[in-house]
A and B are shown apart, each in its own frame.
Chain A
Amino acid sequence: MSEDLIFDVKNVTLRFGGVTSLNDVTLEHRRGEILAVIGPNGAGKTSLFNSLTGVYQPQKGTIDFNSARNGSSAIIGKMPHSVARLGIARTFQASRLFNALTTFENIKVGVESGQKTGPIGAMLRLPRTRHEENASDERALELLEFVGLEHRLNTMADSLPYGDRRRLEIARALGTNPEVLLLDEPAAGTNPVEKQELTNLIRKIGRDFGISVLLIEHDMRLVMALAERLYVLNFGSVIAQGTPDEIRANPTVIDAYLGSTGPDAAKESH
């Protein structure tokens, strides 16, 4: 294995009773790459994400994370929280913020999950706890500034406008200091201006932080602008892969997805 892969997915099959969500999916995600997964509704994109993060356990196949750098790297069989600890962060298609916490606290939850403070330290506010709390404050502020939400610091998450919610979710995921970030339709339901901001943001995450990004998105302009390579899923199977130009020219893809109805982001955005 010469290539430095973040995700090495081999022949993964995921079934729910009679429904096959993923059918013999093989996918390679190189380190530092912005990789996109596209496909019509129900193609199995979110199922793929859930399999990569330990939420779903595929019946067949292997998923290796970062195998070139660490020894035992199998994702399948691990609990979601252990997977997250490995350095895999994600956002959700329907945003799942902690609505009763403030913007700031939402990010802190992510930053703090890796800290050592336990209940005793937290009760007594021992020096280490205070030290870690200061560190997480600083980090959370940095991230708020990074996604441009510093003016929303004390806003409860549920009163944020839609575009801000999406960005907050990204910041929260970044708080865990991941090696790879999985974004599930981050631009769904946002307006053109917000889409442009989001494009810049994702590019910055990829280029500046060196975090690999795996992106599900329906908006083709956004995908083509960002992704270095694409995988196309249909009915749970990979039907094509390649650079944006190759995909655009691929007749199978045009048939299944691009050509007929066209990308319909609005349909799935809720």
Chain B
Amino acid sequence: MSVDEPRRTHFNKEDVRLAATCVASGLLLAVMTGPAGNPESPLEAARLSLFTGHVWGFLLFGIVVAVISVFRRKVRNGEWQSSRAVPRRSMKAYFGDFLASMSTSWWVAFFALAVLLALAIADFTGPYVPGKLSFVQLFTQLHDTRTYGYIGFLWWIINSIRLRRSVHARHGVLPGFMKTPVFRILASAFGGFIFAFCADPWLPERFSFSYFKFGGGSTTAFLSHLPTWLWTACGLLLGVRAVLGERNKTVHANRLRARQFAVSSNTSIALYGIGLFAAFEAPKFLSPFWQEAIFQQIGIFCFLAIGLNIVVGFAGLLDLGYVAFYAIGAYVNAYFSGALPIQPPFILNPFLSIPVAILVAMTAGVLLGLPTLRLRGDYLAIVTLGFGEIVYVLANNLQNLTGGAGGSGVIGNFSINVPLVHLSLNGQALGQDLDFYYLLLAFMIPILILFTSLNNSKVGRSWAAIREDEVAAASLGINGLKYKVMAFAIGASTSGVAGVLSSVKQGILFPSNFALQVSITVLVLVIFGGMGSITGVLIGSAVIGWLLQFLLFHSFIDYQDADKYMYIGALLILTMIFRPQGIWPAKRRAREFHDAEIGLGTADAVGEPAEGPLA
């Protein structure tokens, strides 16, 4: 305590901000658990709950959390050298951690609110369909305590994950028995069970307390429901994986530090959780019109964009014939449904024609890629453009193969008929849009996970290296052609799967569905969203998909469907002027654009290495 020493301020701006957010989340919780609103005055409930007694409880809660967080941070940063600087590993520390992790995830709450708001706006601006929820009704439904309980529960789960990870990094805060493999596996399985209870979208009357009656009702329905046990099994597997994964891990402080950048942060894991939740839940609040739009346009857009993102975003290759693979997938499915003039040797369920479509699209990708990927940027664009047109013209002109411009026959249904699971999705039947949407989601989520880990792997880094400087990459032993063909093949097969999925919904294929404009539109989705960023292209697809539907049904200026390319073009130009890296750019890509602006390297979409002098 020397006088000469510059006085340390004990509370800096960050502390104040943290405390404020803690208090605010206390208030938020108070409103959430307050009385239900009513349609006439939606804000009434919020007003009421702010004056009831329990608001003080939550405020106190927020303040306690804030104090704990600030204290922990001070100790961790070594700013407070007290006898307690080395936290004891006790249950108390465990709960301290837990509370702190809860309060600092206010971004999660913010994000959830933003998503809900966006959905509300989307629905509000949609066309009126009889039976559609009005905005006010939507609001009340959201204000239903149970919904909030639901969100809160998810929040809790996400925090538990965050906690586990942070605990993990610092070793052994948990009491001994909690670290035993058996306990952890069981805990994880239980987590899956809880999740099934919360999020299972197939439950007939989901999450209604009358269904899961606590007061002597039947829990057998829930327990005999297949998805319940699927989720539980997922939890179990995750637990096993975590336990096994640790066994051969030498914990190296430096390595953990290094990984911080590669592995997505806790916050983004939480955001993914919220995104997943919104993806499961949001469509149920939408009108049938938007439910269909979400599958037919936005969902398929997302699918196509994710695949093209591999080619354009990750590998940096400009592919203008991407729709060809989409067409190939669709026609493969039509062929095996017996919907084309030539009959297949055997009829396949669309589920089974997916692997065939993957194989065919991938082969086409490799065959096209091997000769053309040796070409440089502009030539590649032209050759792929030509390929797209060839497929389109073939589909149009090979009357007795594809049915020509008049369209194919009717394509079969998705159906599964094994014990416990009976599913049949008919694209033309009414009221099945949501089922289609969940089917799409069932394909999409694994693909998102696979592609994310691909991007964070050796392969992703090699793509980035080739994109930036092919000569330097080659000097390290990276075979550029091999990686480019790989990107092409993966993109093509994704597009093929999208083709199968959408062909079932469309029912009949017309070659005009596979025109050049589709390729260009998908490219715009990727560029607008942010090349190389999976989250970005999903956002891009959603925004543009929504925009197109919106324009279609608000024909304020005599809008025709074909006009959409004008709007898309305008959007692209605006993007290029104001935000060339896209609305949600990938870290790596944003960097490249920055470098290009200050004259370092290139951010060329076609991935030409800087023509820098070798000498």
Interface set of A (CB-CB < 8 Å, partner B): 46-47, 50, 53, 55, 79-82, 84-85, 89-90, 92-94, 96-102, 104-105, 108-110, 112-115, 117-119, 122-125, 129-134, 136-138, 140-141, 150, 153-154, 156, 158, 172-173, 175-176
Q: How far is the CA of A55 from the CA of B470 in the complex (A)?
A: 11
Could you list 18 further interchain pairs (A-B, Cβ under 8 angstroms) beyond the known A129-B457, A175-B476?
Answer: A55-B471, A55-B474, A82-B479, A84-B474, A92-B471, A93-B613, A94-B612, A100-B588, A101-B461, A102-B261, A105-B262, A105-B461, A109-B461, A119-B454, A119-B459, A122-B454, A141-B258, A173-B475
Are B458 and A112 in contact, CB atoms less than 8 angstroms apart? yes
Residues in B with CB closer than 8 Å to A132 are 458
B478 to A109, Cβ gap below 8 A?
yes
Which chain A positions have C-beta within 8 A of B252?
Answer: 138, 141
Given A92-B472, A109-B476, A104:B591 Cβ within 8 A: no
Question: Taking the complex as formed, is B551 at the interface, i.e. its CB lies under 8 A from any CB of chain A?
Answer: no
4 smallest beta-carbon distances between A and B, as pairs: A122-B457, A84-B477, A100-B591, A80-B474
CA of A140 to CA of B252, assembled, Å: 13
16 pairs across A/B with beta carbons < 8 Å? A46-B615, A50-B614, A55-B475, A84-B476, A92-B472, A92-B475, A96-B471, A98-B472, A101-B468, A101-B588, A110-B477, A114-B477, A117-B457, A132-B458, A140-B258, A176-B476
Q: Give bound CA distance, A122 to B314, whole Å.
A: 14
Residues in A neighbouring B471, C-beta threshold 8 A: 55, 80, 92, 96
Interface residues of B in 446-491 (CB under 8 A from A): 450-451, 453-454, 457-462, 464-465, 468-469, 471-480, 486, 490
Q: How distant is the Cα of A93 from the Cα of B471 in the complex, in angstroms?
A: 13
Given the complex of chains A and B, what is the CA–CA distance between A51 and B262 in angstroms? 36
Nearest to B244 among chain A residues (CB) is A127
The one of A81, A112, A154, A172 that contacts B261, using a Cβ cutoff of 8 Å: A154
B255 touches A98 (CB 8 A): no
Given that A84-B474, A133-B458 are known contacts, is A100 also in contact with B468, CB under 8 Å in the complex?
A: yes
Within 8 Å by CB of A89, from B476, B480, B600, lies B476
* A101 and B615 contact, Cβ closer than 8 Å, known pairs A92-B472, A117-B458, A133-B457: no
Question: Is B422 located at the chain interface by the 8 A CB criterion?
Answer: no
List of B residues within 8 angstroms of A85 by Cβ:
477
Residue of A with least CB distance to B612: A94
Question: Please, how many angstroms separate the alpha-carbon atoms of A118 and B461 in the complex?
Answer: 12
Could you say which residues of chain A place their CB within 8 Å of the CB of B451? 123
Q: How large is the interface on B (under 10, 10 to 19, 20 to 34, 35 or more residues)?
A: 35 or more
Q: Which residues of B contact A110 (CB under 8 A)?
A: 476-477
| Contact of A123 with B261 in the complex, beta carbons under 8 Å | no
Contact code string B339-371 (vs A, CB < 8 Å = 1, else 0): 000000000000000000000000000000000
Contact B453 A122 (CB under 8 A): yes
Which of chain B's residues 262-320 have a Cβ closer than 8 Å to chain A?
262
Tell me whether A100 and B474 are in contact (CB under 8 A). Answer: no
Q: In chain B, what residue has the closest Cβ to A129?
A: B457
CA distance A117 to B483 in the complex (A): 12
A136 to B258, CA, bound (A): 12
Q: By the criterion CB–CB under 8 Å, are A98 and B477 in contact?
A: no
Nearest CB of chain A from residue B101's CB, rounded to whole Å: 23
CB nearest neighbor in B for A154: B261
Bound-state CA distance A98–B595 (Å) is 11
Q: How far is the CA of A244 from the CA of B155 in the complex (A)?
A: 70
- What chain A residues lie within 8 Å of B450 (beta carbons)? 123-124
Contact B258 A104 (CB under 8 A): yes
Instruction: A155 to B223: give the CA distance in the assembly, Å.
Output: 51
Chain A minimum-CB-distance residue to B609 = A96
**A158, B588: Cα distance in complex, Å:** 11
- Residues on the A chain within 8 Å of B600, using CB: 99, 158
Residue of A nearest to B446 (CB): A123
Which residues of the other chain, B, contact A89 by a CB distance below 8 angstroms? 475-476
Verify if B7 is at the interface (C-beta below 8 Å from A): no
How far, in angstroms, from A82 to B482 measured CA to CA in the complex? 12
Do B465 and A109 have beta carbons less than 8 Å apart? yes
State whether the Cβ of B259 lies closer than 8 Å to any Cβ in chain A: yes
Residues of B within 8 A of A81 (CB): 473-474, 477-480
> A97, A100, A122, A124: which has the most chain B beta carbons within 10 Å?
A100
Q: In the complex the two chains form, is B612's CB within 8 Å of A158's CB?
A: no
Give Cα A97 to B450, complex, Å. 28
Q: Smallest Cβ distance from B465 to chain A, in angstroms?
A: 5
Complex Cα distance, B477 from A94, in Å, reads: 19
| A122 in contact with B257 (CB, 8 Å) | no
Q: How far is the CB of B559 from chain A (nearest CB, A)?
A: 40
The answer on a CB contact under 8 Å between B254 and A150 is yes
> Which residues on A sit within 8 Å (CB–CB) of B459?
117-119, 122
Q: Is the CB of B461 within 8 A of A80?
A: no
B255 near A141 with CB under 8 A, answer yes
Instruction: Decide if B35 is an interface residue (CB 8 Å cutoff).
Output: no
Set of chain A residues within 8 Å of B245, measured between Cβ atoms:
130
Docked-complex contact B595 and A158, CB < 8 angstroms:
yes
What's the least CB distance linking A269 to chain B, in Å? 13
Residues of A within 8 A of B454 (CB): 119, 122-123
